[in-house]
Amino acid sequence: MADAPRNRKESSPQKENLFEMPTGKASDKRGDKVRKTPLLDEDRNHHVFGDDVPTKVGSGSTENDLDPETIGSYRIVEELGRGGMGTVYLAEQTGTVTRKVALKVVHASLHHSTALARFAAERQAMARLSHPHVAQLFEAGTTAQGFPFFAMEYIEGETLARYCERRKLSVTDRLRLFTNICEGVQHAHQKGVLHRDLKPSNIMVVEHEGQVVPKIIDFGIAKAIDHPLVDHTLTRGGILGTPAYMSPEALQSPELVDTRSDVYSLGLVLYELLAGIGPKREFVGPIPKPMHSGEIKGPSTRVSDLENASLEKIAGERGLSPSAFVNTLKGDLDWITLTAIDPDPDRRYGSAAELAADIERYLSHYPIQARPPRLTYQLAKYLYRYRVGVVAGTVALLALIAGVIGTSAGMIKAQRAELEARLQARRANSEAEAATQISDFLTELFTLSDPSEARTEELTVRELLDRSAANMATKLGDQPVIKARLLQAMGEVYSNLSLYKEAEGQFEQAVALREAEFGEHPDLAASLIWLGSTNNSLNRLDKAQSLFERSMAMAESLEGPESLLVVNSLVGLASIAVNRGQYREGEKIHRKALSICERAVGDDHWETATVMRSLALNLEVLGRTEEALAYRKKYLLIVEKSKGKDSYHSIRGHYTVGYSLLRLNRLEEAEQYLQKALRLAETQLEPGHGYILRALWNFGDLRYVQKRYREAEEFYGQALRSVEISLPRGHPEQIVLLGRQGHAILNQGRIKDAEKPFETALQLAKEADDTLTLVWSHYDLSATGRMKGDFDQAETHLAKARELWIAQVGPEALEIGFADFYLANIRRDQGRYREAEALYLQSFALYEKNKANPDDLAELAGEYADLLRMMDRDEEAESLLARYPNP
């Protein structure tokens, strides 16, 4: 197999690309006026075949002997090169109009009736063209010796490929440039002219008044669609053009050439413009072997097969990571490109305008014409167009609903194979019936776009989901399996949108249907895991734990102890332990899940990354921030590799890495990660989404550590508004955020103002009967009392917090050491030094017994050292600080 020959290196003076020079060399008789022009790799692929046209230009040519200084009103400056039909000069027009032109003169060897007829037709054809993206014909005439010539617009620019490479244009910018090229070709077609030699080196790009303008050049072998003389010439066997860019029918017989042949060439230009490389084809000499529809690999497959270094280089030139580059090409752009270069003209776009229109549909997120009109695809495009910051939900809905239909109708197959082979799957009658059931249901989602239901606001994914959820009760009653899959899919989308209450309802129905239909089954276990996660998010820990335990037992029974269902159940149980403050138990369970997952799918798999992410949070609350950071960076690396650098999943990766860096006091690094997380979240997601909440929260923490308390207060306030949108009243995150906001206010010296969020948090914690948030709310009000000198308030709330901790974790836990530490500070402030010292020592014992992290030990040592100095025991204070240095 050999790749299509292509231009690997273009010389910098762009004028040498105006016309092709397959053989022969530029004359040097004019001395300094004429330079020798090197042949480009691509130029060597331009061949002229046929009885009437010699294969070597220049053998026996006599126009070289003419060596004119002027032709008509044009003064020759230098020879630019030679093509299969003539010689091209750079000339200056003199007289009333002064300008540079590209002057093309016919070869003397072609001075016979058919060739001259061709040039007469070419002149008539080009005279019809007047378009901003087509090089203009200024004049046509004959030399004193009777040779035809054309004076054309001289383009001082760069070839399309070089311009895009130098500017590192994005895929979107390349597509917009390409649609301009299509407009120029369409204009030529409307004027009855085929180009027949479209390729990257025949497209120049110039910048004019800040606008990027592509120009199509070299209509040197153009065919006038309605001109009989040209047709007569071609039927005698002349095959003109660059074989690597010619359509199969053009290579077979010129009589078959029409507008779709130019579309084919445009498709190859588009392929290289997107992929940086042409499709893989076999050649016999310069001629590509015929291929059938479906045999050519799409751009995404082509670049996926490249070596890593090549893929990284090409992707980088488009501002993308390799994985994001492949994902960008995959799907619509594969369909568009392969449709344009389909070997069968009847399967191609009928015109350049149709090709451009499909690209515009892609850029506007409308369904493209090249792709089969499947409902799921149209649904995804519809949702994307009418999103209000819900890209994540849209993507999730597309993936999930597509999976539902594919699984329900028994149509699971590789989309890539379907794309490249263009085969229609045969379905059994029962499969078609199931697909119709789902199709009918999903069609109702589109009724919101009916003009009779026009509305002033754009629709959101949530509105579409809410509508379908409301109608679900009366739909698919005779298809419980399909209905369960749809309920499961909608539940997952609700969950991804942080709408946990709505998700819970969908999952509960899916569980009921699957249990009734299957009994113990992997699908039921999966639904139980999702329902457990939803209850965990809603802080219903007992119910969540029961669901995870049930799913794990079922998974172990059905699939063995090392399945991914077991892994997901274990991660759920570990998360429950962490949320209950049982951090070491949580780590133990997390480690078990990670070990199983790495054995099952490897250490760089997406599933493994999700376990690492959960374990990192566990390690963070244990104070092992360096370990947490390592796992979070590994998670982000896997996400960027598999999902893309700016993907929905990378938002979480960035804000968690940023938070760990913040904890390590690496503030500049932290801010970079947190800024990117916030930017991606706010541009991709709906207000209230959990990722926006977390990004705002972490940014508030950053400003707090930087002692920019007013800004921290504002970020916490925004995060609280996000909580109110998506989470139920009294959710732990709302309570903790109120505490953070209160501390930001407290550090501004506004003690009275700080008490309001602290008291609200305490009230919500009591209503929720949540031990952890209740404990911290008591701590916060204790701190407020201490700051304003109200020691009764400080002690009362601290005593309640300590009592709750003992009931939760026992009297020897690290948390009791924290409580003793805070009480020691109160006693010290009261001047009760002996009691304070006893409490500090008691706290030290619990810290060391439970292996507290160095930060906490250093903080405790610092406060105790202050007490020792107050007691005039300075040497002991210094010794203590030396034993527990601040990290």
Contact in structure between 762 and 801 (CB atoms under 8 Å)? no
CA distance 639 to 647: 8
Quick one: which of 295, 182, 199 has its CA closest to 240?
199
> What pairing do the DSSP bridges indicate for beta strands 86-93 and 74-82?
antiparallel
Quick one: which of 445, 494, 482 has its CA closest to 726?
494
**Phi, psi at 174, each rounded to 5°:** -65, -40
CA distance 797 to 248: 84
SS3 163: helix
Q: How many helices (H) and strands (E) does the chain have?
A: 37, 15
Q: How far is CA 33 from CA 98, 195, 222, in A?
A: 19, 31, 30
The DSSP output letter for 395 is: H
CA distance 769 to 665: 34
CA distance 289 to 287: 6
Residue with tokens 């002692």: 707
CA distance 68 to 560: 88
Residue 553 region, left (φ>0) first, then alpha (ψ -120 to 50), else beta?
Answer: alpha
Contact in structure between 22 and 85 (CB atoms under 8 Å)? no
Q: How far is CA 27 from CA 60, 88, 113, 195, in A?
A: 14, 12, 26, 28
The H or E element containing residue 215 is strand 211-216
Q: Report CA 677 to chain centroid distance, whole Å.
A: 14
Residues 6+ apart with CB under 8 A from 399: none
How much is the CA Rg of the chain, to the nearest whole Å? 36
The DSSP output letter for 107 is: -
The H or E element containing residue 136 is none
SS3 49: strand
CA distance 440 to 108: 70
Residue with tokens 């061949």: 47
- Which value, to the nearest 10 degrees, does the dihedral of the CA atoms of residues 433, 438, 443, 444 take? 120
Structure tokens belonging to residue 121: 């037709």
* Residue 104 marked as a ligand binder: yes
Contact in structure between 597 and 564 (CB atoms under 8 Å)? yes
Residues 6+ apart with CB under 8 A from 882: none
Structure tokens belonging to residue 104: 């093309």
Residue with tokens 């610092």: 862
CA distance 653 to 648: 9
CA distance 600 to 615: 18
Neighbour count for residue 548 (Cβ, 10 Å): 26
CA distance 492 to 833: 57
The H or E element containing residue 95 is none
Q: How far is CA 96 from CA 74, 93, 353, 820, in A?
A: 12, 9, 38, 98
CA distance 205 to 208: 10
**Around 463, how many Cα atoms within 13 Å sit in the side-chain half-sphere?**
15
Q: How far is CA 448 from CA 11, 85, 281, 402, 536, in A?
A: 56, 60, 47, 20, 33
Binding-site residue positions: 104
Binding-site residue positions for ATP: 104
